[in-house]
């Protein structure tokens, strides 16, 4: 297990799964329990998730040797924001347009008692998360948590 966790990509997937589950939980609570519109709920869940994701990526995934800084958080927020707020919102909107749904009047999948389509909302969100996965890892690795040349890679143990 220790050898497996030594791989940055494995740590990224673990942190990403945790953060994505949290994102989905918040999205579903906000839309299904509190009745918020899907795009507003997604924006809220993403903003919360970005903050948690920054800490996970800084300490666990990339094992970045420097302290947390507002500048690095801003870079992370910008990169993740493009992916999570821009790409995800666009994909969810495309699902609504392409499948002629407002996630309340859809024939796409199974509605709940109020007519909201629980599975459809989550399929759209899952698709959006997958699209952003490669973007996020690449930008985190080579922009946000990049260790300057000549220094040991903070993400991999030196043997």
| Higher per-residue confidence, 142 vs 97 | 142
Report d(CA 77, CA 81) in Å as an integer.
5
Listed residue (65, 40, 49, 35) closest to 151, CA to CA: 65
| Higher per-residue confidence, 114 vs 71 | 71
- In the predicted model, what is the mean pLDDT of residues 6-10? 90
pLDDT band, residue 77 (cuts 50/70/90)? very high
Query: Domain boundaries in the chain?
Result: 2-144
- In the predicted model, what is the mean pLDDT of residues 32-53? 88
| pLDDT tens digits, one per residue of 84-97 | 778 878 887 887 77
Measured in whole angstroms, the distance separating CA 48 from the mean position of its chain's CA atoms is 10
Predicted confidence at residue 149, as pLDDT, reads 74
pTM of the predicted protein model: 0.68
77 Cβ neighbours under 8 A, 6+ residues apart: 50, 54
Instruction: Name the phi and psi angles at 111, rounded to 5.
Output: -85, 155
Helix (H) or strand (E) holding 22: helix 8-28
Predicted confidence at residue 116, as pLDDT, reads 55
**Planar angle of CA 60, 91, 127, nearest 5 degrees:** 55
């Amino acid at each position: 297990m220790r050898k497996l966790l030594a791989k940055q990509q494995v740590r990224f997937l673990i942190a990403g799964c945790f953060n994505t589950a949290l994102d989905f939980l918040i999205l579903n609570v906000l839309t299904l329990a509190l009745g918020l519109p899907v795009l507003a709920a997604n924006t809220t869940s993403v903003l919360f998730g970005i903050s948690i994701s920054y800490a996970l990526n800084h300490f666990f995934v990339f094992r970045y040797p420097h302290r947390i800084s507002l500048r690095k958080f801003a870079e992370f927020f910008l990169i993740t924001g493009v992916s999570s707020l821009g790409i995800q919102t666009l994909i969810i909107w495309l699902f609504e347009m392409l499948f002629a749904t407002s996630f309340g009047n859809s024939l796409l999948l199974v509605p709940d008692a109020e007519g909201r389509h629980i599975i459809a909302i989550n399929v759209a969100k899952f698709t959006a998360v997958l699209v952003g996965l490669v973007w996020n890892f690449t930008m985190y690795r080579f922009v946000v948590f990049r260790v300057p040349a000549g220094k040991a890679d903070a993400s991999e143990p030196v043997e």
